[in-house]
Structure 1
Amino acid sequence: MKTSDSLTVDGLLVVGDQQEIDRVVQALSLIRQHDPIRYRRLARDLSRIWILAIPYRGQFSVGTWTCQLDQRFVLDKKTSCELIASVIVHEATHARLARFGIEYREELRQRIEQTCIRRQMAFTKALPGAAEAFDEADRMLNALPDMSDTAMAEQALAAEVEAARYVGVPEWLLRRMIALRRWRNRRLAAKSRRN
């Protein structure tokens, strides 16, 4: 984070390279302009937006109250600012739920994701030019994947490998990372079965 550019927007630190920051600032402007109440909430609930290579388009880190956005997603010419804003709204909803003490536990995951996607849909429905973002959120809501700990661990591993390849991690190191991660996942699964 120290080697990246940054800009503070309404108390929210945005970190990445300048081109990434510009796109995220445009997305934040859309939220502020078309849904000021939601914008004020997300500015309170998040401390920063960090653009970097991550396995998913966006994810929320509760330890740092950070909305992380994948730089490939943000920089892709096919990604509209409306879609970036939609993902920020989704991740900010995770932050809001966490502020209320709702943990991202296996038995609650499905309902939490449904809530976050519905917030995305409510935002994009009122946003001019966001039909594509609305349709995508609607498809996600109707086709949520298996969200068990085991399935999520496998999905995360595959996505992390792809992100690691993108940033140039050598194949020999990836093989070791995969083996170590699978070993760790098996141990966690065995431990949860015992409890």
Structure 2
Amino acid sequence: MERFFEWAWLKASDSLVVDRLLIAGDQQEIDRVVEALSLIRQYDPIRYRRLVRDLRRIWVWAIPYRGQFKKSTWTCELDQRFVLDEKTSSELIASVIVHEATHARLARVGIEYREELRQRIEQVCIRRQLASIKGLPKATEAFDEAERMLDALPDMGDIAMAERAFAGELEAARYLGVPDWLLQKIVIIRERRSRRSAAKLRQN
């Protein structure tokens, strides 16, 4: 069902191919992504060449985080609220794209996003962000934010990540107009499943 929803959303989106990289979203979102990619191409051409090899597409839609990498489709997904926010600079979008493209680069060489490796993987991705964006014009905000992330990474364990993802998914669903009564039912169902899973673990 999830894949069908994603396929339908993607089909309904506008798209543009830039250097063999498919960019999907509405036209304003595409324009912002193209502007961010232009900055990377101009100021960090080596990273840009790797980026267009490692990713197949950049897709802007409603997701729980600012950005995330989906290995099954080699996609950098960006949250449309983040991309369309007038406070979001092109440098900040470029920074997130570089971060997610670094996840793709690591996946290409066989490094899996396992729980015990996540802290180190995120550190690598953030350091790549810092190296890439430090030469961008007006990149102070993006650089400072990446430094703060590096200094204060959140808990990357399975349980903590699942909780953050679920909270983000609820916010994305609310943004898309899903009614609160349905969201409450989703929360109840999830809590029941969590209790059942916990009970099974105790039995084992």
- TM normalised by structure 1 equals 0.94
Aligned to 2:138: 129
- 1:9 equivalent to 2:14? Answer no
Aligned residue-pair number: 195
Aligned to 1:157: 166
- 1:79 equivalent to 2:58? Answer no
Question: What is the rounded CA distance, in whole Å, between the counterparts of 1:96 and 1:110 in structure 2?
Answer: 16
Question: What is the rounded CA distance, in whole Å, between the counterparts of 1:107 and 1:188 in structure 2?
Answer: 22
- 1:120 equivalent to 2:132? Answer no
Assess, with a 3 A threshold, how the Cα gap between structure 1 residues 109 and 183 changes in structure 2: closer, same or farther. Answer: farther
Matched-pair contact (CA < 8 Å) for 1:157–1:178: no
Question: What is the rounded CA distance, in whole Å, between the counterparts of 2:162 and 2:43 in structure 1?
Answer: 36
SS state of the match for residue 8, structure 1? Answer: strand
- Quote the offset at 1:124 in angstroms: 1.3
AA in 1 matched with 2:184: R
Question: What is the rounded CA distance, in whole Å, between the counterparts of 1:102 and 1:88 in structure 2?
Answer: 19
- Quote the offset at 1:183 in angstroms: 4.0
1:68 equivalent among 77, 82, 106: 77
SS state of the match for residue 2, structure 1? Answer: helix
Query: Gapped runs of 5+ residues in structure 2?
Result: 1-9
Matched-pair contact (CA < 8 Å) for 1:153–1:185: no
SS state of the match for residue 67, structure 1? Answer: strand
Question: What is the rounded CA distance, in whole Å, between the counterparts of 1:21 and 1:31 in structure 2?
Answer: 15
AA in 2 matched with 1:28: L
- 1:142 equivalent to 2:151? Answer yes
2:36 equivalent among 13, 27, 30: 27
**Correspondence 1:32-47 to 2 at 5 A:** 32-47=41-56
Query: Gapped runs of 5+ residues in structure 1?
Result: none
Assess, with a 3 A threshold, how the Cα gap between structure 1 residues 128 and 171 changes in structure 2: closer, same or farther. Answer: same
Aligned to 1:179: 188
- Quote the offset at 1:180 in angstroms: 2.9
- Quote the offset at 1:126 in angstroms: 1.7
Percent of aligned pairs with the same residue? Answer: 75
SS state of the match for residue 11, structure 2? Answer: coil
AA in 2 matched with 1:27: A
Aligned to 1:18: 27
- Quote the offset at 1:176 in angstroms: 2.1
Aligned to 1:49: 58
- TM normalised by structure 2 equals 0.90
Question: What is the rounded CA distance, in whole Å, between the counterparts of 1:55 and 1:145 in structure 2?
Answer: 15
Question: What is the rounded CA distance, in whole Å, between the counterparts of 2:103 and 2:155 in structure 1?
Answer: 18
- 1:102 equivalent to 2:133? Answer no
Assess, with a 3 A threshold, how the Cα gap between structure 1 residues 190 and 20 changes in structure 2: closer, same or farther. Answer: farther
Task: Name the Cα RMSD after superposition.
Answer: 1.8
